[in-house]
Structure 1
Amino acid sequence: MGKAMSRTFLSALGCLVCLGWNQSSLAAVPEIKVASVHFPPYVFEDEPGRGLLPQLLEGLNRQQRDYRFVARSTSLARRFGDLRDGQIDLAVFENPDWGWQGIAAARLEMGLEDAELFVAQAKPGRDQRFFQPLKGKRLALFKGYHYGFSGFANDPSLLRQHYNAELTYSHDSILGLVLRGRADIGLLTRSWLKERQLREPILQEQLLVGEQVDQTYRHYMLLRPQASITPDQLQALLEQMRHRGELQRIFEPYGVRVKPYVADR
């Protein structure tokens, strides 16, 4: 074999070795499977790369190489079962009032706050008094969500019977019902409404937003005990993002309040 050919062969062999090493190293990095539940603007089911969750996971992956955070699609109804069964390791943007008190998982506060807002169609003479009382009003709600006004009960029959509720599977439907006059009051997540108003500023004129919110909630993470990452390691990664201003950059444009530190640790 000639010298030139030998050099070419050795160079190619070296590239293959490096490629194999990189691939094996990547494969060796533990995956943290994160629940991806349709919850605009956090997760958009029909646009996997859009939303606050993909930005959060990108930030977590960018700042370290010991773990790889990946989104795994699930649903509101399945997510806790998937966590128990190991289909997912981590559920994010959760709240104790949403039914996970009995789940065997580490609870970590994210230091993020969102809210559910009452909205109605803006009309001459209509003011904040329109939102009280709710009794006798037609409500538009997101099926499966837990609302403060109902004591966080989310049984469809109860909501229809006691609150004259029409249940939908999207915030867009709730907004449409309100704007078309088919519902008197709708419940919208503050972050979703903020994102929509950024795209459609006219909504600020079309909607009357209640000053009194249905609920303000702190977001939590639920980490499966068998996950490759420990609660302290996960919390430390999140706090690094907070310290560098990454959480503020991702969440504050959408009305999600970022606390300067996490007290519940």
Structure 2
Amino acid sequence: MFKIFLFWAICAHSLALDVIYVGLYNFPPYAEITDTKAQGAAVDLIHLLNDKLVKFDIELRPYFTSPKRRYQDYEENKFDYIFFESEKWGWEKYNLSVSPIIAMGGEKYLSLKTNKSIYTQKDLQKNLKDKKIAVILGYHYGFAELESNEEELKRKYNIIFTNDHSKNIDLVLKGRADLAIITESYFKMKSDINQDLTSKLKLSADYDQIYNHKILGRPNSKLTMKSIMEAMNSLKKEGKLKTIEKKYYIDFP
């Protein structure tokens, strides 16, 4: 009888939780979405935060969006928060709660080792007419001064748009693109799985963009940014963020 009561008590508590959605789009190693599943640092962080937020009767759940659709989905209240993001990536017109910096990182220029050019932002901005660059549709890149409009990018650069980071690496490997802009931590993870990549490909010494990742959120959400940051700080003090750091080569300052 007690077991039955306990089962229904747990079910009732689960139903009573307020669900707060966190927007996720393909941005490895922070989020990598395939079909209806997602993995990555943001997913792991959601699980850790839920252990802390249960005292508020709140549960975070992922909401799958895309780099281009994230703004519309936010406007339509599909999600309240987005992790590992920058307010400079197209969010300027929105009224947002913005956290302090939660993670550091950056993206670099990936090319074949047989390509002797050393790429920097200045090189890219001055001489791109004969360079094919593989990028992700909807992203904001440093060499393009954070411009994400595809027509404008096509006008200025020789751009190949995709929705898949692995495909961009493959385009460089096959010589169909001269460059791809890749998150440094993601390439390290890929290289751990396939060490052959480091024998054929190189990352530039210069960054296209240095990440100062933050959490962006809805100011009137049932879950306040203050509560999230208190949970984040608690996780850090307990050393629980180290697992994410080691797994995804991410630096939590």
TM over 0.5: yes
CA distance in 1, matches of 2:7, 2:238: 33
Shift of 1:253: 3.9
Q: CA deviation at 1:57?
A: 1.0
* C-alpha distance 89-208 of structure 1, shift in aligned 2 (>3 A): same
Structure (1 or 2) with the larger CA radius of gyration: 1
Equivalences for residues 199-214 of structure 1 within 5 A: 199-214=193-208
Cα distance in 2, alignment partners of residues 131 and 207 from structure 1? 19
Task: Report the structure, 1 or 2, having the larger strand content.
Answer: 2
Give TM-score, length-normalised by structure 1: 0.85
Provide Cα deviations, 1:118-155, integer angstroms capped at 9, x if missing partner: 0110018x253698622232211111110011111012
Q: Which amino acid aligns with 2:210?
A: T
Q: 1:78-227 residue pairs with structure 2 within 5 A?
A: 78-123=69-114, 126=116, 128=118, 133-134=123-124, 135=127, 136=129, 137-227=131-221
Q: CA deviation at 1:63?
A: 3.4
Of all paired residues, the percent bearing the same amino acid is 25
Long gaps (5+) in structure 1: 1-10, 260-265
SS in 2 for 1:152: coil
User: What do the CA deviations read for 1:29-62 (whole angstroms, capped 9, x no partner)?
Assistant: 2212111212222222116242212211111122
When residues 249 and 17 of structure 1 are mapped into structure 2, their CA distance, relative to the original with a 3 A threshold, is closer
Say which SS state the counterpart of residue 217 (structure 1) adopts. Answer: strand
Q: CA deviation at 1:95?
A: 0.6
Write the distance in 2 (CA, Å) between the matches of 1:62 and 1:181.
46
Aligned residue pairs total 246
- Contact between 1:174 and 1:186, CA under 8 Å: does it hold in 2? yes
Segments ≥4 residues shifted beyond 4 Å: 129-132
Structure 1 residues 132, 200: CA separation in 2 closer, same or farther (over 3 Å shift)? Answer: farther
Are 1:116 and 1:187, in contact at CA under 8 Å, matched by a contact in 2?
Answer: yes
Q: What residue identity is the alignment partner of 2:45?
A: L
Task: Give the match's secondary structure for 2:34.
Answer: coil
Confirm or deny: 8 A CA contact 2:25 2:65 kept in the other structure: yes
Alpha-carbon distance in 1 for matches of 2:156, 2:74: 33
> Within the alignment, does 1:52 sit opposite 2:41 as a pair?
yes
Counterparts of 1:202 and 1:229, CA distance in 2: 45
Which of 194, 217, 238 matches 1:244? 238
RMSD: 2.0
- Checking the alignment, whether the CA contact within 8 Å between 1:90 and 1:221 is kept in structure 2 is yes
Matches within 5 A, 1:5-16: 11=1, 14-16=2-4
What secondary structure is seen at the aligned counterpart in 1 of 2:206? coil
Asked if structure 1 preserves the Cα contact closer than 8 Å seen for 2:121 and 2:142, the reply is no
Residue deviations 1:213-238 (CA, integer Å, cap 9, x gap): 10101111112123221121111001
Q: Which residue of 2 is the match for residue 7 of structure 1?
A: none
The alignment status of 1:19 with 2:7, answered yes or no, reads: yes
- Residue aligning to 1:65: 54
